Amino acid sequence: MKIRDKNHRRSHWLKRPMFSQQYRPWLIDNGSLTTRLHQRYANFSVKKVSLKYAKPFRDEASLLALKPHQRALIREVLLMGDNNPVVFAHSVLPRNALRGAWNKLGRLGNKPLGAVLFANPKVKRTPLEYKKLSCQHPISMRVAGHFNIQPKMLWARRSVFQLKCANILVTEIFLPQILEK
């Protein structure tokens, strides 16, 4: 089930979230983040930020075995808890993943991707990887652009979801507001 190639090591994602303190319970939970957020917040919603075809980051393309010039559907959403953003989700959906059983994934709008992925028992998930994102990381910069803030660091986790021959990458960035409740 490994999809990695020799360039994967350059991305510096970790197998364990070392020194993640209060974020650790959120990072290591293998279940559906959508379900967990529904349980925690009386008012849970998804707010679409961006949906467009673009080139994934180099480490994402490598992980999904995409050629450097290949475009994929990039979906970015905010997971909202009681009307506050708590998670920024960045998903990479290669064109071949948008066929067959997953042909509707590109048209989810404000529906949670996690609900679709965890509803199908045939979907397999690779082990979670973790990273403490610096303020210079491209995803941190995207988050900062939406909130007009410059976070010092953000914890993120990612994994690949697989169904038959189709793979999609989901990266979840935990915002400081998730620790407030």
**Is the residue at 1 inside a domain?**
no
Bridge partners of 14, per DSSP, are 130
- In total, how many domains does the chain have? 1
**Is the residue at 14 inside a domain?**
yes
Q: What are the CA-CA distances from residue 73 to residues 7, 105, 107 (Å)?
A: 22, 10, 11
pTM across the whole model? 0.89
Cβ neighbours of residue 115 closer than 8 Å, sequence gap 6 or more:
32, 34, 35
**Is the residue at 122 inside a domain?**
yes
**Is the residue at 103 inside a domain?**
yes
What is the residue-level pLDDT of the chain in tens, covering all 181 positions? Answer: 444 444 444 458 988 888 888 999 999 999 999 999 999 999 999 999 999 999 999 999 999 999 989 999 999 999 999 999 999 999 999 998 888 777 787 788 888 888 888 888 889 999 999 999 988 888 888 888 776 666 678 999 999 999 887 899 999 999 999 998 6
Residue 13 tokens, joined: 């994602």
**Is the residue at 130 inside a domain?**
yes
Structural domain containing residue 29: 6-179
**Is the residue at 11 inside a domain?**
yes
Cβ neighbours of residue 170 closer than 8 Å, sequence gap 6 or more:
89, 90, 91, 113, 114, 117, 158, 159, 160, 161
**Is the residue at 157 inside a domain?**
yes
**Is the residue at 120 inside a domain?**
yes
The pLDDT assigned to 110 comes to 83
CATH number at 66 reads: 3.40.1410.10
If DSSP codes are grouped into helix, strand and coil, which group holds residue 164?
Answer: coil
